[in-house]
């Protein structure tokens, strides 16, 4: 029953991760899209922190505390289900299904003005083209969608390869191995959860002013530094199989919190925001499905292998993740264009201006012919 319940929970989380970022991207105005989309990550981090607090409280309720801990997960699921009935459809979805007038009314309502002609025409044109696509998953592999496909695979992969999930999942084990007691380890993991939630607020406040690239690159540099510092401390002070001195244990927790802080305002929210805003309407749902599938696949792989890697590499596990963060930071610098302030239905123009992706995408004339031929 437990295994079946976890499987069903995973399916539900997959649906939520696929739908919520897309919904936020389509409903948000262009100049606020980044910050509003990151509310998804804020809610996720608050959920992680709340779960840590619940686990800390229920562990003392022997022998049924673990049942209460699992059962309380039904409450947020119920809220999400009820909310799904109350929320309106996005204008993009309505127009794609032929409800043009209703889509315009929703657009006017969420924008707070009747002057939505330009945005309405963009969505209408995108929806008409989307309706001509009979096989979105096949279409996503065409050259015009190659940049978006690459990002939908690499962004969630890199997000997990920062090592954040491993640190959050196994924080109590990690901190106990550094000399903290059981309760202290739980307190430390709760602290990292609180830092993750609060750091997302920084990203919400700055993403639409500074841009996505600045946050990703600066966050990557800070995470690399923190991972290397932790590896050095553990390698020097913890490498002879003795218990880590208390002062250094506290220092490691502080540096890990700084790492979580950097993730919380960079790769945490932006790993979801960017894939949800770069796809054209005709492949948006398929693209986000790929993003979620890749994210959950690598979450599973890292979660299953982390303890073995920790035992084998010891402090080198932090250098392992630092190496991947270096790769992803360089990747962003070279291949990811800035998406700040670009209407969601005009993202295709951004790729055509990028020094690398413009070589991959077909010429506009060929692209128009391929549209007509679909």
Q: How many domains does the chain have?
A: 2
- Mean pLDDT score across all residues of the chain: 86
Whether residue 373 has pLDDT greater than 80 = no
The CATH number that applies at residue 74 is 1.20.1250.20
Q: Which domain holds residue 333?
A: 14-86+144-373
Whether residue 256 has pLDDT greater than 90 = no
Q: Would 332 be classed as within a structural domain?
A: yes
The reply to whether 321 and 208 lie within a common domain is: yes
The reply to whether 176 and 312 lie within a common domain is: yes
Angstrom distances, CA of residue 134 to CA of 15, 45, 139, 140, 283: 22, 37, 9, 11, 10
The reply to whether 109 and 212 lie within a common domain is: no
The token pair at 140 is 């996503």
The reply to whether 114 and 126 lie within a common domain is: yes
Q: What is the pLDDT of residue 86?
A: 93
Place 177 in a pLDDT band, splitting at 50, 70 and 90. Answer: low
Lowest-pLDDT range of 145-154, 186-195, 339-348? 186-195
Q: What is the pLDDT of residue 342?
A: 92
Q: What is the pLDDT of residue 7?
A: 84
Whether residue 100 has pLDDT greater than 70 = yes
Percent of the chain with pLDDT over 90: 45
Round to whole Å and give the CA distance between 9 and 15: 10
Whether residue 275 has pLDDT greater than 90 = yes
Q: What is the mean pLDDT of residues 37-48?
A: 88
Percent of the chain with pLDDT over 70: 90
Q: What phi-psi label fits residue 241: left (phi over 0), alpha (psi between -120 and 50 degrees) or beta?
A: left
The reply to whether 46 and 68 lie within a common domain is: yes
The reply to whether 80 and 115 lie within a common domain is: no
Place 73 in a pLDDT band, splitting at 50, 70 and 90. Answer: confident
Give the per-residue SS3 of the chain. Answer: CHHHHHHHHHHHHHHHHHHHHHHHHHHCCHHHHHHHHCHHHHHHHHHHHHHHHHHHHHCCCCCCHHHHHHHCCHHHHHHHHHHHHHCCCCHHHHHHCCCHHHHHHHHHHHHCCCCCHHHHHHHHHHHHHHHCCCCHHHHCCCHHHHHHHHHHHHHHHHHHHCCHHHHHHCHHHHHHHCCCCHHHHHHHHHHHHHHHHHHHHHHHHHHHHHCHHHHHHHHHHHHHHHHHHHHHHHHHHCCCCCCCCHHHHHHHHHHHHHHHHHHHCCHHHHHHHHHHHHCCHHHHHHHHHHHHHHHHHHHHHHHHHHHHHHHHHCCHHHHHHHHHHHHHHHHHHHHCCCCCCCCHHHHHHHHHHCCCHHHHCCCHHHHHHHHHHC
Could you give the count of Cα atoms lying within 13 Å of 180 in the half-sphere of its Cβ? 22
Q: Would 73 be classed as within a structural domain?
A: yes
Q: Would 6 be classed as within a structural domain?
A: no
The reply to whether 25 and 116 lie within a common domain is: no
Query: What are the pLDDT digits (tens) for 135-144?
Result: 778 889 988 8
Q: Would 5 be classed as within a structural domain?
A: no
The reply to whether 203 and 312 lie within a common domain is: yes
The reply to whether 123 and 265 lie within a common domain is: no
Angstrom distances, CA of residue 368 to CA of 41, 167, 338, 347, 364: 37, 47, 25, 16, 6
Place 121 in a pLDDT band, splitting at 50, 70 and 90. Answer: very high
Question: Sign of torsion, CA 121 126 129 130?
Answer: negative
What length does the chain have?
Answer: 374
Q: Would 351 be classed as within a structural domain?
A: yes
Q: Would 137 be classed as within a structural domain?
A: no
Q: Which of 110, 132, 154 is the last residue of a domain?
A: 132
The token pair at 127 is 């929806």
CA-nearest of 170, 168, 158, 192 to 272 is 158
Angle subtended at Cα 372 by Cα 368 and Cα 373, rounded to the nearest 5 degrees: 115
Q: What is the pLDDT of residue 281?
A: 86
Q: Would 7 be classed as within a structural domain?
A: no
User: Phi and psi (nearest 5°) for 170?
Assistant: -110, 20
Round to whole Å and give the CA distance between 300 and 322: 20
Round to whole Å and give the CA distance between 192 and 261: 8
Q: What is the pLDDT of residue 239?
A: 59
Q: What is the mean pLDDT of residues 186-210?
A: 85
Could you give the count of Cα atoms lying within 13 Å of 99 in the half-sphere of its Cβ? 12
Q: Which of 71, 101, 132 is the last residue of a domain?
A: 132
């Amino acid at each position: 029953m437990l295994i079946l319940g976890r499987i069903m929970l995973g399916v539900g989380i997959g649906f939520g991760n696929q739908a919520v970022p897309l919904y936020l991207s389509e409903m948000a105005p262009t100049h606020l899209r980044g910050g509003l989309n990151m509310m998804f990550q804020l809610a996720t981090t608050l959920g992680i922190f709340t779960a840590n607090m619940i686990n800390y409280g229920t562990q003392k309720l022997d022998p049924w505390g673990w049942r209460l801990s699992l059962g309380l997960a039904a409450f947020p699921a119920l809220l999400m289900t009820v909310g799904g009935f109350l929320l309106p459809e996005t204008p993009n979805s309505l127009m794609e299904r032929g409800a043009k007038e209703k889509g315009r009314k929703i657009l006017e309502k969420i924008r707070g003005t009747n002057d939505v002609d330009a945005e309405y025409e963009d969505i209408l044109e995108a929806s008409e083209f989307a309706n001509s696509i009979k096989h979105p998953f096949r279409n996503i592999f065409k050259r015009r969608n190659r940049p978006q496909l690459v990002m939908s695979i690499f962004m969630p992969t890199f997000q997990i390869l920062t090592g954040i999930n491993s640190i959050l999942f196994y924080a109590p084990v990690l901190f106990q191995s550094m000399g903290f007691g059981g309760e202290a380890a739980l307190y430390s993991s709760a602290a990292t959860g609180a830092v993750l939630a609060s750091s997302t607020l920084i990203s919400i406040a700055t993403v639409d002013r500074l841009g996505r690239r600045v946050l990703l690159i600066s966050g990557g540099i800070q995470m690399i530094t923190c991972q290397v510092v932790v590896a050095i401390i553990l390698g020097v002070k913890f490498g002879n199989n003795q218990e880590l001195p208390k002062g250094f244990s506290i220092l490691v927790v502080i540096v890990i919190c700084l790492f979580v802080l950097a993730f919380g305002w960079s790769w945490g929210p932006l790993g979801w925001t960017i894939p949800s805003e770069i796809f054209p309407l005709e492949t948006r749902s398929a693209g986000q499905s790929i993003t979620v599938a890749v994210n959950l696949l690598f979450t599973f792989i890292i979660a299953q292998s982390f303890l073995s890697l920790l035992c084998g590499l010891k402090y080198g596990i932090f250098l392992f993740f630092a190496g991947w963060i270096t790769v992803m930071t360089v990747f962003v610098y070279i291949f990811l264009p800035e998406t700040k302030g670009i209407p969601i239905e005009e993202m295709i123009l951004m790729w055509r201006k990028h020094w690398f992706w413009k070589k991959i995408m077909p010429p506009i004339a060929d692209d128009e012919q391929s549209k007509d031929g679909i």
